[in-house]
Amino acid sequence: MKRRLQAYKYELRPNGRQARQMRRFAGSCRFVFNKAPALQKARYEQGESRLGYAGLCKLLTEWRNGAETVWLSDAPVHPLQQALKDLERAYSNFFAKRADFPRFKKKGRSDSFRYPDPKQIKLDQANSRLFLPKLGRLRYRNSREVLGTVKNVTVSRSCGKWFVSIQTEREVEQPLPKGGAVGIDMGVARFATLSDGTFYAPLNSFKRHETRLRRAQQAMSRKVKFSNNWKKAKARVRKIHSRIGNARRDYLHKCSTTISQNHAMVCIEDLQVRNMSKSAAGTAEAPGRNVRAKSGLNKSILDQGWFEFRRQLDYKLAWSGGHLIAVPPQNTSRTCPCCGYMSAENRRTQARFECVECGFEENADVVGAINVLRAGHARLACEASGAVRPPAAGTHRSDSGVAQCRA
Ligand SMILES: [Zn+2]
């Protein structure tokens, strides 16, 4: 038996009062999130030490009782504390160099708040109602059954609609993985190519909608800012954005589900997507070269959501009993899988691989995938013998043994 955490997302159907309340609660959480850094800065300038989460929570109580910010006490206290917790996490990620400096939260941007205490949450699935503190009974679009015990609930707003994400925990039978091992080569021309030759077409959902999006953005820029027509145009832009996001998510989920359900071990190149997207423009001292071409590629990479795809593969494989192995992307596109000869000459064109040593010919992406699979096998063997210790970087999953071997 294994513990499985899963989140279920539904659209909320609040009444007018509840929608108003939710906007206010999100605003209060944003206020708290934004107020704390200024306070830390002031303390720092006065030579005082940084306040930790507990200290900030104490201050929060003062703010809620203070005359100036008494309206904070209308919002439920736990979500406000969670905002401080999120801030603390953002800071420690920054100090550990895992993330950029926490950004100021803007109104209307990722409006959300979280209820962390399951005792205060009541889920009535039979009547499609969810009880949340200070909001009361909320209706939601009950599209699927929630399995497991509720751990926490996040309320968020997107494109003018409110959503709830219910995180649950349950025990599941650990299934035996089906299928064998496979390597994946990620690319721009083909989204993913497997070492057995199957491939997934490029997503490009953004490209398809790009023209429509650009037109909508141009239309918006021609309107008088904050006028009614401008607001309408803005809503249209947001709608296209959300449609792009939905199409992309849908496609990624379909791909990652098929692959994870049919393989016990999946090897993938460990591409640093975050670094790749950053490096294009360069810095003022060292401006990037081929910025335009690179940013096109970067956009394409981000567009296809390689990172998200890997994240999905990781947890879906864990669910189905398999595991994901990330290998360093060294020479995977230039080495002959037949004789092992490694040379840039093997790859005369982007699409075709032709070994100059033994004459082996194959689609270049398939060759890449085969080499990724080999590297994965090698890595597994090294780890089994203790020669390589699983590195700490990368996404971390503690609940499955072999799955931690990613670079
Ligand atoms: Zn060869």
Q: Give residue 337 CA to ligand 1 midpoint distance, Å.
A: 7
Q: How many residues does the chain have?
A: 407
pLDDT at residue 248, rounded to an integer:
82
Beta bridge partners, 241, equal none
Task: List the catalytic residues.
Answer: 185, 269, 365
Q: Is the pLDDT of residue 280 over 50?
A: no
Query: Which residue's structure tokens are 């703010």?
Result: 63
Q: Give residue 368 CA to ligand 1 midpoint distance, Å.
A: 14
Number of neighbouring beta carbons within 10 Å of residue 385: 8
Output DSSP code: residue 299: H
pLDDT digits (tens, 9 = 90+) for 182-217: 999 988 778 899 999 999 987 665 667 778 888 999
* CA distance linking residue 317 with residue 26, whole number of Å: 35
* CA distance linking residue 326 with residue 372, whole number of Å: 9
Q: Is the pLDDT of residue 281 over 60?
A: no
Q: Which band of pLDDT confidence, cut at 50, 70 and 90, is reported for residue 303?
A: low
pLDDT at residue 295, rounded to an integer:
59
Q: Is the pLDDT of residue 11 over 80?
A: yes
Cβ contact 50:44 at 8 Å: yes
Record the tokens describing residue 316, joined without a space: 């879906």
Strand order in the sheet with 323-327: 199-200, 192-194, 181-186, 265-269, 323-327
Q: Which band of pLDDT confidence, cut at 50, 70 and 90, is reported for residue 294?
A: low
Q: Is the pLDDT of residue 28 over 90?
A: yes
Q: Which of 144-153, 287-296, 307-316 has the highest mean pLDDT?
A: 144-153
* CA distance linking residue 363 with residue 135, whole number of Å: 58
Distance of CA 83 to the CA centre of its chain: 19
Q: Three-state DSSP class for 391?
A: coil
Mean pLDDT for 103-126 is: 89
Q: Give residue 12 CA to ligand 1 midpoint distance, Å.
A: 58
Task: State the angle between helix axes of 205-222 and 228-262 in degrees (0 to 180), rounded to the nearest 10.
Answer: 170
Mean pLDDT, the chain, rounded, equals 84
Q: Give residue 190 CA to ligand 1 midpoint distance, Å.
A: 24
Q: Which band of pLDDT confidence, cut at 50, 70 and 90, is reported for residue 396?
A: very low
Beta bridge partners, 167, equal 7, 152
Record the tokens describing residue 349, joined without a space: 């064109």
Record the tokens describing residue 42, joined without a space: 């002031």
* CA distance linking residue 201 with residue 304, whole number of Å: 11
Cβ contact 58:201 at 8 Å: no
Q: Is the pLDDT of residue 85 over 80?
A: yes
Q: Is the pLDDT of residue 88 over 80?
A: yes
pLDDT digits (tens, 9 = 90+) for 329-384: 778 888 998 898 998 888 888 889 999 999 899 999 999 999 999 999 988 887 77
Mean pLDDT for 30-56 is: 88
Helical residues (DSSP H) of 152-263, grouped into ranges: 205-222, 228-262
Q: Give residue 185 CA to ligand 1 midpoint distance, Å.
A: 19
Q: Is the pLDDT of residue 22 over 90?
A: yes
Q: Is the pLDDT of residue 174 over 60?
A: yes
Q: Is the pLDDT of residue 395 over 70?
A: no
Angle at 141 between CA 157 and CA 75, to 5 degrees: 40
* CA distance linking residue 324 with residue 2, whole number of Å: 18
Q: Give residue 263 CA to ligand 1 midpoint distance, Å.
A: 28
Amino acid at 342: M
Question: Percentage of the chain with pLDDT > 70?
Answer: 84
Q: Give residue 347 CA to ligand 1 midpoint distance, Å.
A: 12
pLDDT at residue 176, rounded to an integer:
82
Q: Are strands 361-363 and 181-186 parallel, antiparallel or unpaired?
A: unpaired
pLDDT at residue 206, rounded to an integer:
61
Domain ranges of the chain: 2-172, 181-406
With the C-alpha atoms ordered 98, 2, 249, 245, is the resulting torsion angle positive or negative?
A: negative
* CB crowding 63-76: b at 16 or more within 10 Å, else e: bbeeeebeebeebb
Furthest C-alpha separation in the chain: 81
Q: Which band of pLDDT confidence, cut at 50, 70 and 90, is reported for residue 95?
A: confident
CA–CA distance from 405 to each of 57, 184, 193, 309, 368 (Å)?
38, 16, 22, 18, 20
pLDDT at residue 36, rounded to an integer:
86
Distance of CA 223 to the CA centre of its chain: 34
Mean pLDDT for 209-234 is: 90
Q: Which band of pLDDT confidence, cut at 50, 70 and 90, is reported for residue 250?
A: confident
Higher-pLDDT residue of 241, 137: 137
Q: Which band of pLDDT confidence, cut at 50, 70 and 90, is reported for residue 74?
A: very high
Q: Is the pLDDT of residue 391 over 50?
A: no
Question: Percentage of the chain with pLDDT > 90?
Answer: 47
Q: Which band of pLDDT confidence, cut at 50, 70 and 90, is reported for residue 249?
A: confident
Give the least confident one: 5-14, 23-32, 94-103, 233-242: 94-103
Q: Is the pLDDT of residue 106 over 60?
A: yes
CA-nearest of 113, 130, 133, 111 to 122 is 130
